[in-house]
Amino acid sequence: LPGGCPACDTRALQGALLCMKHHYETIPLPNGTSFNGSRTFLENAADIGGLAIALQAYSKRLLWHHGETTLPNLDL
């Protein structure tokens, strides 16, 4: 993040990203190999970011709709 987030704790961020890379490398693929955590790094980070945003949105919805857990039109 060169210059992109001066207030960010870059050491903590780098540690979290390294943890994510190692985690993905432990997931076995059907062919007996595993993910290349370096090769899929940006995709993995984007997926986790999207899931975090979705979880925040869902949590806010639960607060606004008093614990109603079914999402409209999705039956989830």
Q: What percent of the chain has pLDDT over 90?
A: 12
Task: Give the domain extent around 32.
Answer: 10-51
The number of folded domains in the chain is 1
- pLDDT, residue 9, reads 77
Residue 63 lies in a domain: no
Residue 1 lies in a domain: no
Q: Please report which confidence band the pLDDT of residue 70 belongs to, taking 50, 70 and 90 as the band edges.
A: confident
Residue 64 lies in a domain: no
Per-position DSSP letters for the chain, written without gaps between them: -TTT-TTS-HHHHHHHHHHHHHHHHTSBPTTS-B--TTTTHHHHHHHHHHHHHHHHHHHHHHHHTTT--PPTTTT-
pTM (whole model) above 0.75: no
Residue 38 lies in a domain: yes
Residue 26 lies in a domain: yes
CA distance 21 to 76: 30
Residue 61 lies in a domain: no
Average pLDDT of the chain is: 82
Q: Please report which confidence band the pLDDT of residue 2 belongs to, taking 50, 70 and 90 as the band edges.
A: low
Question: Mind listing the pLDDT tens digit for each residue in 40-66?
Answer: 888 888 998 899 999 998 888 888 887
